[in-house]
Amino acid sequence: MIISPDKTLLECFYHWEATTPDNIYLRQPFGDNFVDFTWKEAGRQARSLAAYLKSLNLPAKSSIGLVSKNCAEWLIADFAIMMAGHISVPFYATLTDSQINQVLTHSGCEVLFVGKLDDWAGMKSGIPSHVKCISFPTYNPDASHVQWNDILANYAPITENYIPSVNDIFTIIYTSGTTGNPKGVMLNYGAMASVIYYARDIARLDVQNARFFSYLPLCHIAERNIIEAAAVTMGATIYFAETLDSFAKNLASAQPTHFLAVPRIWTKFQLGILGKMPENKLNTLLKIPIISSLVKKKIQKGLGLHKAEIILTGAAPMPASLIKWFRRLGIIIQEAYGMTENVGAVCMMPRDNIKDGSVGKIYPGMEVRIAEGTGEILTRSSWNMNGYYKEPELTAETIDAEGWIHTGDVGELDEDNYLKITGRVKEMYKTSKGEYIAPAQIEFGFADNNFIEQICVVGNNLPQPIGLIVLSDLGKATDKQVVRESLEVTLKELNPKLKNYERVQRLVVLREPWTVENNKMTPTLKIKRNVIEKEYATKVETWYSKSDAVVWE
């Protein structure tokens, strides 16, 4: 199929449904077995669901909600919404009752697909009474809902192929919201088609018999374009993770050709490898030519990445040292950078021309400039968002009169069009000495200490910053004094490399990890810096006044 900036995702789906009906599109694991959905079967179900949606006689281009963890039905429902001429509005599966009430009310959804969820009982009270719910099959469907299988049994699949305009909105993606209420980013069909077209070479969309592995939230832009859009463009097969416990087994079964992981996942992989083979032993084996090759292959196969053609990281900053660590194992991680407002596609690191410390080279079709004075990164392209749903003032604050998106990130662009991120405008804070601190850049300096799993540098109005840390499983299992000495060494090695006012006064080891469940991480595993700072605001001055370089909460 020819990739074109005028080909919508829906047209790509129709193409594979018609030309390769018996090829497997979706593979849903249940224990050691899979339930497979061919393009024909996925199309049949989507078309029946679309027939039901059309029978509701909703206004054209109505918002239809979708809340579920990743599974085959998620994508089938998404295409059903498109086929019916409506706009899909997916929500995070971890939302509380009040959070889903806010986004459902704001988006105006009259219908909600409800799928694979860990706590539907806790979410259910937040669903407005007028919203009609449709339960996915298999995943503990709610008996009070319209049932997926009943729709398939009673509604004949639509036969016409609805073709939307490239200017039509196909989705509203609510940002994960590290600060404030989520904003509904409106994206049209043409924006996604343009991204796929311009990224086709660097993203290796030419791979035959491609396989994708879906586990990050499908309502996030990274998974939406890399998994849903790229796979449907290529006619690829998508495998899913069943549970967190089965993640490693499911990934090994998928053997993906295209794989994306956020930095926290890569840290988990690293700690898992080191848990089986200490760093000193690994370093020794990697120096022995024949043994080195065997070790690399074993690790790659153990992770399920031995057939990967492209391996990506994104959604949050990743330390260059961690990327280099995996590179020694023959795992070439290419960083990608973007945000929901520009379909997650500003730049990507070329596999064969890597510049460590940058987040990659600007895509063809994308313009980037650095704002004078602030250093803020501005982007402009044919895949700009249409704006924030029902928020014209916020839209005007983000997209200026010349069409530049103000990203909120601070960075530098070099002569070869490689972009470096140096901080976030809103994350920078002022010390009591009047100097501005960009905490993310300091946090990178702790990436090589394997006793640290999470770190947040804070210090608004303190003379010097302090680091709040959560120990890794390795750190928790190690003698406290050994951990203390290791952290002290890291501090002594890092601080001389920083500006005087950036030097970390001390590290505080916290008892509680930061998770999505306790609201200290977003669903894409970025720390919620503002939540963490607020949580410990009354304690930081006391910790700062301690005499030890490392203290325990």
What would the pLDDT profile of 96-126 be if each residue is shown by its tens digit? 899 999 999 999 999 999 999 999 999 999 9
User: 39: exposed, middle or buried (C-beta count within 10 Å: 0-12, 13-18, 19+)?
Assistant: buried
Please state, in angstroms and rounded to a whole number, the distance separating the CA atoms of residues 427 and 439: 7
| 68 and 169 co-located in one domain | yes
Please check whether residue 241 lies inside any domain of the structure. no
- Contacts for 510-513: CB closer than 8 Å, 24+ residues apart: 510/468, 510/469, 510/470, 510/553, 511/553, 512/470, 513/453, 513/454, 513/470
| Position 22 in a domain | yes
Q: What percent of the chain has pLDDT above 70?
A: 96
Tell me the average pLDDT across 183-192: 95
CA-based nearest residue to 74, from 140, 145, 139, 142: 139
DSSP for 308-327, written as a single string: -SEEEE-SS---HHHHHHHH
pLDDT of the residue at 320:
85
Same domain, 393 and 513: no
Residues 279 and 386 both lie in one domain: yes
Q: Which of 155, 187, 219 is the last residue of a domain?
A: 187
| Residue that is written with structure tokens 């018999």 in the block | 209
Residue 226 falls inside a structural domain: no
Domain annotation covers residue 201: no
At 525 the pLDDT is: 75
- pLDDT at position 182: 85
**Dihedral pair phi/psi, residue 25, rounded to 5°:** -95, -45
* Contacting residues for 280 by C-beta, under 8 A, at least 6 apart: none
* Token pair for 120: 């539907």
Return the half-sphere exposure (C-beta side, CA atoms, 13 A cut-off) of residue 486. Answer: 17
Residues 400 and 475 in one domain: no
Across the range 436-457, mean pLDDT stands at 83
Percent of the chain past pLDDT 90, that is, above it, reads: 66
Phi, psi of 419 (to 5 degrees): -105, 135
The range of the structural domain enclosing residue 147 comes to 9-187
Same domain, 412 and 464: no
Residues 406 and 336 in one domain: yes
Q: What is the pLDDT of residue 100?
A: 94
- Average pLDDT of span 393-412: 93
| Domain-located, residue 251 | no
Compute the distance between CA of residue 499 and CA of residue 437 in angstroms, rounded to an integer. 10
Asked, for residue 51, whether it belongs to a domain, the answer is yes
Angle, alpha carbons 392-228-123 (nearest 5°) = 65
Domain membership flag for residue 177: yes
> pLDDT for 130-151, tens place per residue?
999 999 999 989 999 999 999 9
The residues facing 310 across adjacent strands are 258
pLDDT at position 540 over 90: no
282 and 149 in one domain?
Answer: no
Residue found by looking up tokens 């939302």 in the block? 95
148 and 262 in a single domain? The answer is no
Same domain, residue pair 15 and 150:
yes
CATH of the domain at 445: 3.30.300.30
Separation of alpha carbons 394 and 341, rounded Å? 12
Domain with 29 in it: what CATH number? Answer: 3.40.50.980
- pLDDT at residue 415 greater than cutoff 80: yes
Tell whether 119 and 101 lie within a shared domain.
Answer: yes
Q: Is residue 132 part of a domain?
A: yes
Task: Give me the pLDDT at residue 110, please.
Answer: 95
Whole-angstrom distance, CA of residue 41 vs CA of residue 25: 9
What does the pLDDT look like over 252-261, one tens digit per residue? 999 999 999 9
Q: With the C-alpha atoms ordered 472, 476, 482, 483, is the resulting torsion angle positive or negative? A: positive
Which CATH number covers residue 412? Answer: 3.40.50.12780
Rounded Cα distance, 94 and 116, in Å: 11
Residues 172 and 28 both lie in one domain: yes
Q: Is 92 helix (H, G, I), strand (E, B) or coil?
A: coil
Average pLDDT over every residue of 231-258 = 94
pLDDT of 177 > 60? The answer is no
Q: Which one is predicted more confidently, 521 or 284? A: 284
> How much is the mean pLDDT over the chain?
91
Whole-model pTM: value is 0.84
pLDDT at 410 over 90: no
Q: Is the pLDDT of residue 433 over 70?
A: no
Q: What is the mean pLDDT of residues 57-70?
A: 97
Of 374, 405, 424, which marks where a domain is finished? 424
- Using DSSP's 3-state secondary structure scheme, residue 186 falls into strand
- How many separate domains does the chain show? 3
Is the domain of 273 the same as that of 417?
A: yes
Q: 375, 408, 424 — which closes off a domain?
A: 424
Residue 444, pLDDT above cutoff 90:
no
Question: What local confidence, expressed as pLDDT, does residue 518 receive?
Answer: 86
